[in-house]
């Protein structure tokens, strides 16, 4: 399953962990943890960014139905601003792993560092492309966060969250400049901070 990765664990309760939303100017950072069922393989799992929206949505349903366990954790905008995005991401991942039932005995984390969790863990760079369980977690995290941003779009349609999901696109920058920052904007991120100080995004 992971020909190029040495893992110090051979049991069934191996979680993949990934996040969505480190880069946006608004909204939470969302992490997911997934323990796949080796008896119920799922075809088509990949890095969520390489899948179409419709494919992500359909795979997310299958992953939720067929995995041994899955959970989502998040860190909100206030936590991102208080802790910084790296530490908020680690917190969201920790919450996702802690939400698993049955619990993980070992976790593979996308990226180059691991959150402080109660089970053994290992960081895997580009893990969403190399480890199926991390790819599954990336899909759950992305779909969950996108749905939350669509709810935000219904509250504030003038910002275009349905298009950019909070990322710093031209449309988002123009809306931020024209309408100002929302409570859901990350004040510690430079474009938002500049607008709050009366400058240009």
Tens digit of each residue's pLDDT (9 = 90 or more) over 115-124 = 999 999 999 9
Q: Terminal CA-to-CA distance of the chain, rounded, Å?
A: 45
DSSP string, 96-151: HHHT-SSPPSEEEEESS-----SSEEEEETTHHHH-HHHHHHHHHHHHHHHHHHHH
Considering the domain boundaries, does residue 28 fall inside one? yes
Considering the domain boundaries, does residue 87 fall inside one? yes
CATH for 40: 3.30.420.10
Considering the domain boundaries, does residue 99 fall inside one? yes
Report which DSSP code applies to 20. Answer: E
Q: What is the pTM of this model?
A: 0.95
Name the token pair of 73.
């954790």
Considering the domain boundaries, does residue 155 fall inside one? no
Considering the domain boundaries, does residue 77 fall inside one? yes
What domain range includes position 43? Answer: 14-144
Considering the domain boundaries, does residue 116 fall inside one? yes
Structurally, the chain folds into a number of domains equal to 1
* pLDDT, tens only, 18-66: 999 999 999 999 999 999 999 999 999 988 888 999 999 999 999 999 9
Name the token pair of 54.
């419709």
Question: CA separation (Å) from 134 to 54, 108, 125?
Answer: 19, 7, 11
Task: Name residues of the chain where pLDDT drops below 50.
Answer: 1
pLDDT attached to residue 2 = 56
Considering the domain boundaries, does residue 157 fall inside one? no
Nearest to 69, CA basis, from 98, 112, 26: 98
All residues at 6 or more sequence positions from 45 whose CB lies less than 8 Å from its CB, including other chains: 59, 63, 132, 135, 136, 139
Considering the domain boundaries, does residue 150 fall inside one? no
- Separation between Cα atoms, residue 193 and residue 183, nearest integer Å: 12
Cβ pair 25, 175 in contact under 8 A? no
């Amino acid at each position: 399953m992971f020909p190029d990765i040495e893992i110090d664990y051979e049991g069934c309760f191996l979680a993949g962990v990934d996040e969505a939303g480190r880069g946006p100017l608004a909204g939470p950072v969302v992490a997911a943890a997934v323990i796949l069922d080796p008896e119920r393989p799922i075809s088509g799992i990949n890095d969520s960014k390489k899948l179409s929206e419709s494919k992500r949505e359909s795979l997310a349903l299958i992953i939720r139905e067929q995995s041994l366990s899955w959970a989502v954790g998040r860190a909100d905008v206030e936590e991102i601003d208080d802790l910084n995005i790296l530490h908020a991401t680690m917190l969201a991942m920790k919450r996702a792993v802690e939400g698993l039932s049955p619990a993980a005995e070992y976790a593979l984390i996308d990226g180059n560092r691991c959150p402080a969790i109660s089970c053994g863990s290992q960081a895997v760079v580009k893990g969403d492309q190399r480890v199926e369980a991390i790819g599954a977690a990336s899909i759950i995290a992305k779909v969950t966060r996108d749905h939350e941003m669509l709810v935000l779009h219904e509250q504030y349609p003038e910002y275009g969250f349905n298009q950019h999901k909070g990322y710093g696109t031209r449309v988002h920058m123009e809306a931020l400049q024209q309408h100002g920052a929302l409570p859901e904007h990350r004040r510690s991120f430079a474009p938002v901070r500049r607008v709050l100080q009366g400058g240009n995004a």
